[in-house]
Amino acid sequence: MVGIKDVAKRAGVSIGTVSNVVNRPHVVATATRNRVLSVIQELGYVRDESARQLRAGRSRIMALLVLDLGNPFFVDVARGAEEAAHAQGINIITCNSGQRVETEASYLAMLAEQRVRGVLLSPVDTGGDAMQAFRRSGIPYVFVDRKVPADEASSVSVDDVAGGALAARHLLETGHHHIGFVNGPTILTQCRDRDAGVRSVLTGSGARLSGVEAVGLDVASGRDAGARLLGMSPRPTAVFCANDLLALGVLQAMVGAGVRVPDEMAIVGYDDIEFAGAAAVPLTSVRQPAFRLGRTAAEQLLAETEENPPPHRQEVFTPELVVRESTRVRR
Partner DNA sequence: CGGCCTCCTTGAAACGTTTCACCACCGTGT
Partner DNA sequence: ACACGGTGGTGAAACGTTTCAAGGAGGCCG
Contact status: 258 vs its own copies (CB under 8 A): no
Q: Which amino acid is present at 185?
A: P
> Binding to its own copies (CB under 8 A): which residues in 277-306?
277-282
Q: Minimum distance from CB of 281 to its own copies (Å)? A: 8
Q: Which residues pair with 271 in a beta bridge?
A: 287
Query: Which one of its own copies, DNA, none is in contact with 86 (Cβ closer than 5 to 8 A by kind)?
Result: its own copies
- List the Cα angle 5/9/14 in 5-degree steps: 75
Whichever of 198 and 290 has its CB closer to its own copies, that residue is: 290
- Return d(Cα 323, Cα 315) in angstroms, integer: 26
CA atoms within 13 A on the CB side of 63: 26
3-state secondary structure of 96: strand
Q: Strand pairing of 284-287 and 238-241?
A: unpaired
Q: What are phi and psi of 89, to 5 degrees?
A: 70, 20
- Return d(Cα 257, Cα 59) in angstroms, integer: 54
CA distances from 237 to 99, 253, 265, 267 (A): 31, 15, 5, 9
Contact status: 75 vs its own copies (CB under 8 A): yes
Q: Strand pairing of 208-213 and 238-241?
A: unpaired
Choices 22-30, 116-124, 309-317, 320-328 (CB under 7 A): range interacting with DNA: 22-30
Choices 20-28, 143-151, 181-189, 194-202 (CB under 7 A): range interacting with DNA: 20-28
Q: Which amino acid is present at 211?
A: G
Q: What are phi and psi of 141, to 5 degrees?
A: -145, 155
Task: Single out the residue of 191, 183, 326, 201 nearest to residue 267, CA to CA.
Answer: 326
Q: Strand pairing of 284-287 and 320-322?
A: antiparallel
Whichever of 48 and 264 has its CB closer to its own copies, that residue is: 48
Choices 71-79, 147-155, 199-207, 289-297 (CB under 8 A): range interacting with its own copies: 71-79
Choices 45-53, 215-223, 264-272, 287-295 (CB under 7 A): range interacting with DNA: 45-53
> Binding to DNA (CB under 7 A): which residues in 252-281?
none
Whichever of 80 and 164 has its CB closer to its own copies, that residue is: 80
> Binding to DNA (CB under 7 A): which residues in 54-113?
54-57
Contact status: 210 vs its own copies (CB under 8 A): no
Choices 20-28, 109-117, 162-170, 228-236 (CB under 8 A): range interacting with its own copies: 109-117
Contact status: 210 vs DNA (CB under 7 A): no
> H or E stretch including 39?
helix 30-43
Point out which residues bind its own copies (CB under 8 A).
1, 44, 46-54, 57, 59, 61, 63, 69-70, 72, 75, 78-79, 82, 86, 91, 93-96, 98, 103, 106-107, 109-110, 112-115, 133, 136-138, 219, 248, 251-252, 274-275, 277-282
Point out which residues bind DNA (CB under 7 A).
1, 3-5, 12-17, 19-20, 22-23, 27-29, 31-33, 45, 47-48, 51-52, 54-57
